[in-house]
Structure 1
Amino acid sequence: MTAEPIAESSGCRWPVPPQDGYTVDDLFTLPDLPPHTEMIDGSLVFVSPQRRFHAKVIELLMNGLRSTLPEDLKVEREMTVVLDRRNGPEPDLSVVLAEAATGLEQTRFEAADLRLAVEVVSPDSESRDRDTKPRKYAAAGIPHFWLVEMTGADQHPVVRVYELDPLTKTYALTSIHHDRLKVGVPYGIDVDISLDALRTL
């Protein structure tokens, strides 16, 4: 089902959901949606302006992920991932199969294309990043997930690394990293995530 016309109120134009709710197809066809709009359980989720920490951590991790990236993988930033017909979240970073990157006009990846999803927690998205999205990523079979948060009095990044249990379709915490992120899966990754490294960006 396609979306209903956009309603106007006080000069604002708001999308009116169809009777049966939105589908992911609507996410790509509704006019004038704000950048980085996500779909969770058939509802549109609008993103608030991000803190500098959020942008810099994404940049730091993207640089690190690309430094040892195998030829059969690519790192993508803030691209919609279609989990099912009513869920199209946008991980902050995704490691995808290179063959799934089909062109510069591409707007989405399928869950099966991902090897890693990364979420950097923001004040407005804590519940989604810590609970809703990991559960949905796991149910969709994405093998690896990282949750990144600001912590401590000095506000340094911490990365929690999770791996999918294919039997239960849930993530298990495998490690926590404060200054250096060094893991062997989904490939060999070694990133300086210290506060000093973050401040150099």
Structure 2
Amino acid sequence: MGALMNPEHSWPIPPPGGWTADDLDTLPNLPPHTELIDGSLVFVSPQTQFHMRAVNFFTWQLMDQQPPDSEVFREFTIDIDRHNRPEPDVIVVDESAMGDLDQTRLPAGSVRLAIEVVSPESVGRDRGVKPVKYAQAGILHFWRVENKDGRAVVYVYELDPSTGSYGTAGIFHDRLKVSAPFPIDLDLTAITAKRRTAE
């Protein structure tokens, strides 16, 4: 109970109009991986083993298959507008957007692919809110990864320029093979494969 009464652990009170993207860099004592959605701070809940494995898998696999003019980041915020600075689980960005090593965010316009791994507490944001934000920001490719009975399922979306919204480009269960945003071939069973111990 003491921690709840301690002023150091009280929730930050938003200013009129909500928080801004710049505030994420200056607000003290924010938990790691805090996001900004519509001017509100979103805190991350403890992650599942599936989430950790999936994020690691896509990070390393995409780093191995990415073209030379791109970079892969995990859990790094992107600027959409003044009141939206989400943190996709994995992004592939244009290398030209890279600044110095003190950079804390990237412009949404530099993102070629955004990936969200769905957690129980993030279902609404990952299925509804974030895809709309990413599409409005012009991110051409979005993947949503879900745990279906212990197996990874990837929902692949591509931006339709005529509507400004995402259309389904495929649903992948055991193997994901696409040609855009660049040639990618992934064995999705490796995400949840059990590790073998030495005999």
TM-score relative to the length of structure 2: 0.92
Q: Is 2:91 the counterpart of 1:97?
A: no
User: 2:191 & 2:101 partners in 1: Cα distance?
Assistant: 34
Secondary structure of residue in 2 paired with 1:15: coil
User: 1:145 & 1:165 partners in 2: Cα distance?
Assistant: 12
Aligned residues of 1:144 and 1:163 also touching (Cα < 8 A): yes
TM-score relative to the length of structure 1: 0.91
Q: Which runs of 5+ in 1 are unaligned?
A: 1-7
Q: Equivalent of 2:109, from 109, 112, 115?
A: 112
- Following TM superposition, by how much is the alpha carbon of 1:24 offset from its aligned partner in structure 2, in angstroms? 0.8
The answer to which of 102-111 and 174-183 deviates more is 102-111
Cα-Cα RMSD: 1.6
- Residues 1-201 of structure 1: pairs in structure 2 closer than 5 A: 10-11=5-6, 12-152=9-149, 155-194=150-189, 198-200=193-195
Secondary structure of residue in 2 paired with 1:194: helix
Give the AA of the match of 1:140.
Answer: A
CA offsets 1:39-92 (integer angstroms, 9 cap, x no match):
000000000010011010111111221122111111110000110000000000
User: 2:195 & 2:96 partners in 1: Cα distance?
Assistant: 33
- Following TM superposition, by how much is the alpha carbon of 1:195 offset from its aligned partner in structure 2, in angstroms? 5.1
User: 2:129 & 2:184 partners in 1: Cα distance?
Assistant: 26
User: 2:191 & 2:80 partners in 1: Cα distance?
Assistant: 36
Secondary structure of residue in 2 paired with 1:168: coil
The answer to which of 61-70 and 175-184 deviates more is 61-70
CA offsets 1:117-171 (integer angstroms, 9 cap, x no match):
000000010000000000000011000000000002xx11000100000121100
User: 2:75 & 2:173 partners in 1: Cα distance?
Assistant: 24
Q: 1:165 to 1:31 in 2, by over 3 A?
A: same
User: 1:92 & 1:116 partners in 2: Cα distance?
Assistant: 11
Give the AA of the match of 2:32.
Answer: P
- Following TM superposition, by how much is the alpha carbon of 1:13 offset from its aligned partner in structure 2, in angstroms? 2.6
